[in-house]
Structure formats: structure tokens, C-alpha cells
Amino acid sequence: MLRRRLNRLLGGDERRVDSRTIYVGHRSCSATEAFIPPKFCDNRIVSSKYTVWNFLPKNLFEQFRRIANFYFLIIFLVQVIVDTPTSPVTSGLPLFFVITVTAIKQGYEDWLRHKADNEVNKYLVTVLEDGGRIQKESEKIKVGDVVEVEEDETFPCDLILLQSSRDDDTCFVTTASLDGESNHKTHYTVPDTEKDLESLNATIECEQPQPDLYKFVGRMHIYKNDQEPTVRSLGPENLLLKGATLKNTQKICGVAVYTGMETKMALNYQGKSQKRSAVEKSINAFLLVYLCILVSKALVCTTLKYVWQSKPGQDEPWYNEKTQREKETNLYLKMFTDFLSFMVLFNFIIPVSMYVTVEMQKFLGSFFITWDKDFFDPEIKEGALVNTSDLNEELGQVEYVFTDKTGTLTQNNMEFIECCIDGFQYKYRDASSELDGFCVTDGPVSKLQQKAGREKEELFLRALCLCHTVQVKESAEQGQGQRDGLIDEVDGLGVDGEVVHPLQEQRGFIASSPDEVALVKGAMRYGFTFLGLESKTMKILNRNNDVEMYELLHVLNFDPVRRRMSVIVRSKSGDTLLFCKGADSSIFPRVRREEVERIRMHVERNATEGYRTLCVAYKILSAEEYAQADAGLREARLALQDREEKLMTVYNQVETGMSLIGATAVEDRLQEEAAETMEALQGAGMKVWVLTGDKMETAKSTCYACRLFQRNTELLELTVRTLEDGGRRREERLHDLLLEYHKKAVQDAPPVKAGVTRSWSSAGQDYGFIIDGATLSMVLNSSSESNSNRYKNLFLQICQNCTSVLCCRMAPLQKAQIVKMVKNSKGSPITLSIGDGANDVSMILEAHVGIGIKGKEGRQAVRNSDYAIPKLKHLKKLLLAHGHLYYVRIAHLVQYFFYKNLCFILPQFLYQFFCGYSQQPLYDAAYLTMYNICFTSMPILAYSLLEQHICMEVLLDNATLYREIAKNAMLRWGPFLYWTLLGVFHGLLFFFGVRFLFSNPALQDNGQVFGNWSYGTIVFTVLVFTVTLKLALDTRHWTWINHFVIWGSLAFYVFFSFFWGGIIWPFLRQQRLYFVFANMLSSVSAWLVIILLILLSLLPEILLVVFRKPRGPHARQKPVQSSAGGRQSPRSSARPLLMRTFSDESNTVI
């Protein structure tokens, strides 16, 4: 980052202006002027966070921003500066361990990033320089260098295409690593450039770097022998992006325009916004409670110390007289240092090692998703991917699911179903006897008067063959290996056993959208075949096997705002034609009204059946109209400022007064198990919202097919159509409809208890809500601020009381706005967004959990997601099984950590009442240091990785179990209080149980008296065994790892105690535990008390396990379902889960 800023500071003023000038090949345009090359950044890519020099300070700074680490650093410094009862090692060593483990993990991750950067930066590329080709490392490429790239190589920087080995001056690229689209895209060379690039004298004027992959504005000035320079416009079709791969083209040459961190790929590389899980927020809240307990303990002990010392003879007994220095010390200063000493003594109540355990649990736990074989998809030969391990437990807390439709609920695998020409329906059937492959469903084929007429049919099919950006890939140009893949992509094009023209054999279509391929294939079925584009000439094979040729004059590209695309072509006869295809909402206003009615009915029927529909229109342009359009388009394309807006104006002028020819219906089939998945999510208490750019009717039928809307669901519609029904102003009608729906869905609805969705409740009507993009804009951006907030609240309340919500005609930004609105609503519900395309990225980034699907629309969604899965059906297991278990595991880990530290430090606090508040430690320094690091850390880590309190099959079969843990149920104040009271009970029992034993301290046969270190060691032994066995009782899913770490930790404690006390250590000034442990175990009374106290501590747990009637998995499911059906609060059924007495699930474990 610093390097980039320095580059900008030192690299001249190029950042201050709106455009940059690039000299192709670093050649000056004028022989008389001195050439001073402008300074731009180099081509080095830096994705790493640290360097060798800044790693230590930067990493330490980041780690000490965490409150627990900073707190322990302060405690450590207090121990070093002030004379405290415990050694600085006791807090310094755990802190050092935590900091070191985290630094190693982060350092390793950054080393991998450095390694990846070096692979890219040291890659050798060919640069044309001084008439020859030289090899350069990629990082040494400068803006203005002419670079040569060969087939299947990736572009080292952003290049303007100057020369291609293809005859038609085009090249094909795939941008899978940028936006994930694996389809081939066509790029064009700049017209009028020299064939010999050495003699090319040109400058490029273009916009400054910006991250939009699909936008580029520039112009090229070509200088020739003192003539006026030729100016050519540059757009995204001329720009080859770094990271894209050259395909089906032997080699190209291009000039570097953006390099290094200024390439579009680098500008799109953004670190994920830090998403914090609800568990982390709960940890911080609990930490504050324990901090208050710590401070209050220290205050109580400090106060009681001075109360006790105020009595005569207590402050300075005859055996412990004060030194002169102690007598002269300021009283308040001494009180403050005493307070700090008590803080140090009790500081272990704050579990610093919990953070590193949680990090390790999240990091290692995420591998279980990656390793899950059920997530492996044989079609793409990939499994699930985890980009962010910090959110594993959030998968078990999802309340709202926002899903895209195309490619997520549906397969994005388009198949041409039927078309409508001039109001007549044409449906293709597998029957070779049919005339021209047409079938008129309204009557027999022979009745030609029912057909639209040959002229209209051929015009419609020509429109399908010409109005697209599809490229044809000839078999001669492809290798055998590639051919198979491409023919598969277009189903081989030998349609349903028809006799195919020889030219069509082994032909593949290359398109950026599966819709376009489906329409071209549809035209083929009816006898019109697109043969390809050569040198701006489009060729069509018609029904009579004649080749028709059209000169392609202009392509008016598709964009999501216009929702249509057009081409302007010139036929052999000299007619200039405009063909346009697009959504009905964008085509109908631009054609004659009488034509609309004939086709609207078919479009709406097709949409209701769930098909994707497009309308097709055409217009014959007069010479004057074309000249005006051509001039306008050329002028707009040369503009550097506001090029998009100027082009849009010209497009809108040209695309008016068209004639509607017909419409197409393309089917996008549902994803595998889409309906079952949606039903399971709703059963788990989640609200599902579908956010799509598709039209309402199509999306609605998909929702019915996915069972999001049932047949008895009453649909509340808030769309432009319903707003116009009342005949009043839209805003008034919006207000009335919102109030009406609010009364119906919210006020008149029976109350539903938390966690139970309406579809599962016996009483009350189910409601579904439908809204479109235009109406949503009115709701979110009303003319007055007060109205906007009111509308937003009404809208939210209606939606929250509906089983499902469908938002259609959504722009990508609106998808994110909806997610943000729900995320910030009352109760801050946990949201999840799932999508497969670049248009879903904004909502994936906005939600608490973002999931990408490895679909056909590319990998941009996957790259920006927290988790990626191959198919929608995998979402069910990800949430209901993995999410449920992750949440239960980490919630137990957090509660257990606080519990075991309270058990640990409470006896230390109670001990102060019996030692004159002298800050005497109860435990040895070695025990204080190793309690959290060694003796009790591994069992809870193993538990938090492997525990399955209910086996995965039961969780998947019974979605309602997910509700038991909803709304952070296991980390609420109730369970926290239970664990805290359990810790207090155990702490009191340990201390006073051992004190009862010590009522006669002569515990050995020879009458030898046990001392205070024996007392502390017995308490510590009971503590370690109790907290470890408590975890063993909570474990429902035993593996060899659990056995190894639980019994191994206890064995290690015993071994360490013998070892630590059995040797005289030369580096210790006093050896408090010398033979204390061995001596303690020689007493039968000590053995008896240890066993008795462990049993007494765990007795409540054991009794619950023994006396609770065990139930099998089927019995387990019934009460949960009945509690949901009877609308009982899920908290009651979750109670055993919260207290971790899972005896009733013990039979469900595999």
C-alpha cells in the first residue's frame, strides 16, 4: 500500500487529471519534440500484507488491538514493575504462546501470498523492443511497452489489442479468473493500425484506472507522414485484461495501458470486509462481566486487607516488622499497588488462551466442510470451498436466506422451447414429418392460413440469427481435445436426428450468455443456421440452403438498465435493418400498441409456465436515419467523458418506432433438489427471499415450483401493475396498499411465537409477498424522509410476517439494499446471501454470510463469498448439519472456558480470607502458567472439533432441530448464568472440601503436618480432574482422539507434578513443590478427599445422565415436532441442550 502511495506521489501528476496519455512503444509523435516518458507504476503485483522488515511491528500492533491481549500485556508489565505475589512468567508465558501461535499462522498465510506474487511477477513475457523480441520478467513491463502473447497464455497487464494472427483481426479470450465466465469473448484490434508495429507512431488517451471490468473509455491518435492524425475510439472490446487467457488465436500484440496494482484485476482485489460473528460479540460481553468480577474481587480484598490491618497488632506483628522504607511509603500509593497485586493474582479468571483455541477451532474446523464428500460434484470435479473460517458458527444461526434465481434456484442451462410469431404459437416437436419443423398448436400444420406467413417467419428467424454476439468455432481451428468440450457445450448441434448441412457438422458456438446460444440453436431447428462472422460480414444459411450475407454496421450492446440489445446490418439489396431483442418491459413501449396485444398474451402465458421470455422487433432505417445514427454513435464512442450516457442517448433515439415480430420462450430448469432444500430451510425456521432481475411471472412460477409459495398461499403484490390499478397517483396508491397489506398480514394475523414460521403453524393464513425494483425504489427513496422511513417500516413488518418474499426486476445494488435493510432491522437477524453470478456479489458481500455457487455464470460470486458450494442442494447440509454442529461446539467451548477459569481462581480468592489478605498464592507458579496452556486446553479443542451431540443424518432429516439453537440460544445470559453458578459451586466445593480435610492437618502416619503448598496442590488436583471429567461427561461422540487427549491430559498432569517436584531445579530461587505431590499421594486421606470431591462435584451431572430416560432418535424427533406444531417456545425443548446434558440423544450418535 505504501509503495502504491509513494508511486502516486513520485509518479508525476498523472493522478490529478482525468485521463492519461500513453506513447505506443515509447516513441514520440513528433521528431522535433524531446520525448519525456510519463511515469506510471511498475507491473509488480503485491497482494501480501507484510514484509520481512515490518512483519514484527505490524503484526504485534494488530494483535495488541485485541482487548484480551492488551489486558494481559498490562498485567505482565505490572508484574515486572510492581512487587507482585506471582512471577511475571505466569502471565508472560501464556501471552507469548498466544502471540507466537497467531503470528506463525498469519506469517505462514502471508508467505503463501508472497510466493503467489513472485510466481506472477517473475513470469517471463515477450516484449517487442528496438526491432527485436526480448524476454522480460513480468514485473519489469512498463506502460507503453508492446507485448506479445501466445495462445493459452495469460495477459501480463491490461493491453490494447493492436495486432492479431487471425484474418478477421479479432481474438478470443476467457475471463474465468476475473469474472468467472468460462465462455469465449471476442475482442477486436484497433482499425487502421500498421501491420508492422515497429513503424507504428501513435498515442493513446484513456481514462485513469478504475475497477469496472466492463468499462473502458479511450481514443487512439495514429500519426502518418505529416498527415492529420487519425483518431479511433477505444472501448472494452479493444482492452485485454490482466488475468484473462488467450484462446483460439495463435498470438496477439498489444500495448500496455495499465500495469501492476493499477490493472483492473488488482483494483478488483479487495480484502474481505471484516465480518464478525455473533459468538465473538457474546465473548466480548462475557469478558466484560468477568472483568467486573475480577475488579470487584481485587477491590474487596484490598478493602478487607486495610480493615484487617487497622486492628491493633495486625498491621505490624512482632515477627514481621516493617522496614523504614515501608513505613515512609504513601498510604494511597501502597493501597493502589496492593490493588494491582490482587488484580495480578486473580487475573487468570480472564482466559487469554481462549482466543487462540477459538482461532484454531475455526481454522481446523473449516477443513471438515472442504473434506465433506457429499459436497463433491462429479460434473465440475470440485467440492466445497471455505474462504473465511471466522464465520463457521454463523451457519447455525441463519434467520434470513436471500437467494438469486437464475443459476441458483435454476440451472442456467437454457433450452429453446417455443416461439410466437405475429401472435401465432410455434412449438418444436420431435417429428420429421412436420412441415419445416413447425407445429401450430392451434390447429393442423397443413392450415397455412393459421401461420404467420412465410415472410414474417423468415424475418423473425433472421432476427434470431443476426441479433446476438455469438461466434462460431470451426472444427478446422480446434484441436481434437478442445473440440469435444465445445461440441458438448452446444449439444453437437445435430438437432434431434435431423439431416444437418455439412457446414454445420462439428461446429461449436461461443457466446457470453447461454440465452444467446439457445436462441441461435432454436433458429437452426426451424431451418436458419448462423454460419459465422467474417470481416464484419454475417452469414446465414436459409431454408433453401442459400447463404445470405449481411454487413454488420453497429452492435448496440446489452446492458441491465436498457434490458435489450440491437444490431444494425445492411443486406445485399442495400436495405439497412435494425434488429432488437430484449425484455418485454423494455420492448413494448418502443413498438406500435396494436402489435403488443397479439403477443403479450403469449409472453405472459410463457412467463407463468416458468419460461424466460424475450421479445423481438425490427425497423428499416432510411439513409438519413442511418447517417444520423452512425454519426451519433461514432461521436459518442470517441468521447472520453460520459461516454456511457452519450451512447445510451443515441441507443434510445435509434430504438424507437420499431415493429414487433414475435417472442421466444427459453426454459431454465430447476436445480437438482431445489424444492426439497427450500422446504428444509423453511422447516428450520428460516425466511427465504428470492431476489432476481427476471420478470415477475417467471420468478413467481419458479417460487411455486420450489414450494416457496404453496397453492393456499395468499400473494400480496406490490408492483408497478398494482400501483397503476387504482387510477390515482402512484405514491398515494403505494401508501394505501402498504396499509392494507399491513392490516392483513400483521395486525389481523394470529400471534406466532419466535422461531416458528407460519407454514408450520396450524392456524392462520400463509402470505407471500411480491415486489418489483421500481416499487422498491419508491419505498426506499420516497420524496419525503418521514414517508420513506414509514414505508420502510411497514414494508419490513409485512415481509417479516410472510413465509416467503419475491423481489423481481432487481438491480444488483437493490439486492444489497434489501439485505442491508433486513440486516439492520430490529433484533439484527443473521442473514445469508447465495448467488452464482457477478450481479450477486454486492448482496453476498453485504450479508453476514455470503455463499457462492460454482455455476455457469462464473466465479466472481465464488471469489467474493465466505463459502462456495457446487450446487444449491448442498446448502441444506451446510446449514442444518455443519452449521448446527459448529455453533453447538463453539458455544460449549466459550462457556466451558469461562467456567473452568472461574473454578480455577475462586479458591485463590477464598484463600485470601485465611491468609490475612497477604496476596499469598494458593497454587505454584508452574500450575498457574500451565493450567490453560497444557492441562486443560487439548480436551476442549478436540471436543470443539469432533463433537456430534446429534448425528448428521438426524439433523438433516429433522430440520426443526435447527430452531433449538436459533437466536444465539446457547450463548444467552441464561446458559451463561448456569455455567457461572456451576463454576462458583465447584470452586466453593474444592476449597471448603479440602479445608474440611485440613481441620486436622496431621494427615500422615508419622504425624507430619501438611503445609499450604500441599493444600493448594490437592485443590488443583481436584480442579484439573473435575473440569476434564465434566467435559468427558458432556461428550456424546467419542473417537480415539477424544480418549487420547482427555486421559492423556490427566496422565500428563500427574507425570508433570511428579517430575516438577521430584528434581531440584538450579534456576529456581525457591522450590515450593519439592516432593509435595509425591508426599501428598502417600496419604490415604488425601486420596479419599480427592476422589470424594470429584464425585460430589460431578454428582448432579451423573444423576441427570442416570435417571433421565434414554430415548432413541425417532423418539427424539417427535417431541420437537410436536413442540413446533403446538407452537411451543423452542427454548423449553432446547433446555437440555443449553445445560449440555445430552443423555436423551445418546442413542443417536453413529
Give the separation between CA 509 and CA 517, rounded to whole angstroms.
7
For 422, other C-beta atoms within 10 Å of its C-beta total: 18
Residue among 541, 462, 554 nearest 507 (CA): 541
Alpha-carbon torsion (40, 44, 48, 52), positive or negative: negative
DSSP string, 229-285: PEEEEE-GGGEEPTT-EEES-SEEEEEEEE-GGGSHHHHH--PPP-PPPHHHHHHHH
> How far is CA 256 from each of CA 8, 241, 860, rounded to the nearest angstrom?
18, 10, 24
Give the separation between CA 386 and CA 89, rounded to whole angstroms.
38
Q: Answer yes or no: 179 catalytic.
A: no
Q: Which of 404, 515, 772, 1034 is catalytic?
A: 404
39, 10 Cβ separation under 8 angstroms: yes
Give the separation between CA 1141 and CA 1035, rounded to whole angstroms.
9
Q: What is the CA radius of gyration of the chain?
A: 37
- Spacing of C-alpha 362 from chain mean position: 16
The secondary structure of residue 950, as a DSSP letter, is: S
- Burial pattern 866-883, b for ≥16 Cβ within 10 A else e, equals bbbbbbbbbbbbbbbbbb
> How far is CA 1112 from each of CA 142, 1118, 1119, 1124, rounded to the nearest angstrom?
70, 10, 12, 19
Question: Which alpha helices (DSSP H) does 865-1011 contain, by range?
Answer: 874-877, 884-911, 925-930, 937-946, 952-957, 973-997
Give the separation between CA 369 and CA 790, rounded to whole angstroms.
43
> SS3 of 627, please?
helix
Alpha-carbon torsion (694, 273, 14, 256), positive or negative: negative
> SS3 of 655, please?
coil
Question: CB burial class (10 A; 0-12, 13-18, 19+) of residue 289?
Answer: middle
Give the separation between CA 308 and CA 731, rounded to whole angstroms.
76
Residue among 1099, 1107, 1104, 1115 nearest 1142 (CA): 1104
155, 246 Cβ separation under 8 angstroms: yes
> SS3 of 666, please?
strand
693, 408 Cβ separation under 8 angstroms: no
Cell of 402: 436471500
Give the separation between CA 206 and CA 104, rounded to whole angstroms.
44
> SS3 of 753, please?
coil
Instruction: Give the DSSP H/E element, type plus range, for residue 645.
Output: helix 643-654
251, 304 Cβ separation under 8 angstroms: no
Phi, psi of 564, rounded to the nearest 5 degrees: -160, 165
DSSP string, 151-176: TTPBPSSEEEEEEESSTTSEEEEEET
Give the separation between CA 246 and CA 154, rounded to whole angstroms.
6
> SS3 of 660, please?
strand
Residue among 479, 544, 531, 527 nearest 505 (CA): 531
917, 304 Cβ separation under 8 angstroms: yes
Question: Which alpha helices (DSSP H) does 966-1039 contain, by range?
Answer: 973-997, 1012-1034
List active site positions.
Answer: 404
